[in-house]
Amino acid sequence: MSNKQDASTILKRRYIPTAEFYSQIIDSLQDYSIFTLDNDFVINSWSSGSTKIFGYETEEVIGEHFDLIFTEEDLKNGIPIKEIETALKEGRATDNRWHIAKDKSLFYAYGLVFPLIGLDGEMLGYVKILRDLTERKKSEDAIKKYMQELEELNAHKEGVLAILSHDLRSPLASIIGAAKYLKTNFHKMKSEDVQEMLDLVYKSSTDELEMLDYLVEWARIKYASDVFSPAKIKLTEYINKVFETLNENASINAINLHHEIEENTSVFADGKMLISIIQNIVSNAIKHTGKGGTITVSAKSKDDKIIIQVKDTGIGMSKEIMDKLFTPQIKILSETRKKNKGAGIGLLLVKGFLEKNGGEIWVESVEGEGSSFYFTLPIEKPLYKIGSADEVMFDESA
């Protein structure tokens, strides 16, 4: 056979890849986790990329159910079975979600599951492919957070400027006017009239300072992150501190302060902010509760949060006031200030603190029957928040 014929013969030969060849290709894909499941959803193969991403060695996961990689929340919602059902119905299932590694850390991944069919059409199991997109998700979230903060800053800037010009400037003009009148007419005024005007100037000045302090603290928490130091703390200790501070004010009107919170109830929050949150809400409740009333603080856990309720037997409020309670509405702030209730700025401060700590606040109230303020705080240090697939979607080519 000539050399030319030998070359032709070689070219015509077909190379048939072996299982080892395919295994080497799969193991070379270090940025991907590729593993297979049998018909009972038990892991029966595990790539080196899977070890890199999840942290489990092959011998640790072979024979384990693939529930192993899903978060507790996804397990509660039946996500693993839903993935399999979609794969069987549509030929494959894709998703973007958080998964849990061996060290219990979370990572965000694009996932693909499809049935593994044999040569004769028999069902052999399933193939699961994952790509770690945690860094990309962090970048997306950082951009979203930055944009949200810019929007909030712009919205709050208008509110703060309006408050400064209306609720601070107007009373200050009155104080200056009263002081000028005293300066000009002091020698002609009766002593009781002088005393009355001085009392008015003093009260207006202290009210002004209190509102300014609220605004400064609100702005500091809204836009300064260096003071934020959250930790796991006992809720009852902070409730008791607030009660000790406010007990004298409450006792003037025979208002009973008590809580129904178990001793071991903990939250993950900044301690100074938590004190301010509770103190503002309870102080506000005291102002709106008549003689012989009761203010009760209670708590219950729901999922990964604690819901705290501050309930009073006070005057309650209308739906119109409730709808505007946590936004800088000048009319509402002015009205509450004139009535010496002072709730407006304090509740804006509370809302800012809670948002910083990953919580939220709302109110339920009936006029003449009292109000209940509810706010939430995380029980443990929050991990990455698990969003819906509609919030962040990555295509398969990512």
- Give domain limits for the chain: 3-132, 135-227, 228-398
Adjacent-strand bridge partners of 111: 95, 130
**pTM (global) more than 0.75:** no
pLDDT at 108: 83
Report domain 135-227's class.
mainly alpha
pLDDT at 26: 52
Please give the CATH superfamily to which domain 228-398 belongs. Histidine kinase-like ATPase, C-terminal domain (3.30.565.10)
Mean pLDDT, the chain, whole residue set: 78
Most confident of 24-33, 132-141, 194-203, 381-390: 194-203
Burial class (CB in 10 A: 0-12, 13-18, 19+), 280: buried
Residue 123, helix vs strand vs coil:
strand
User: What is the Cα gyration radius of the chain?
Assistant: 32
CB half-sphere exposure, 60, CA atoms < 13 A: 12
Q: Which two tokens stand for residue 341?
A: 């209730």
Of 74-88, 331-345, 353-367, least confident by mean pLDDT is 331-345
Report domain 3-132's class.
alpha beta
pLDDT at 332: 45
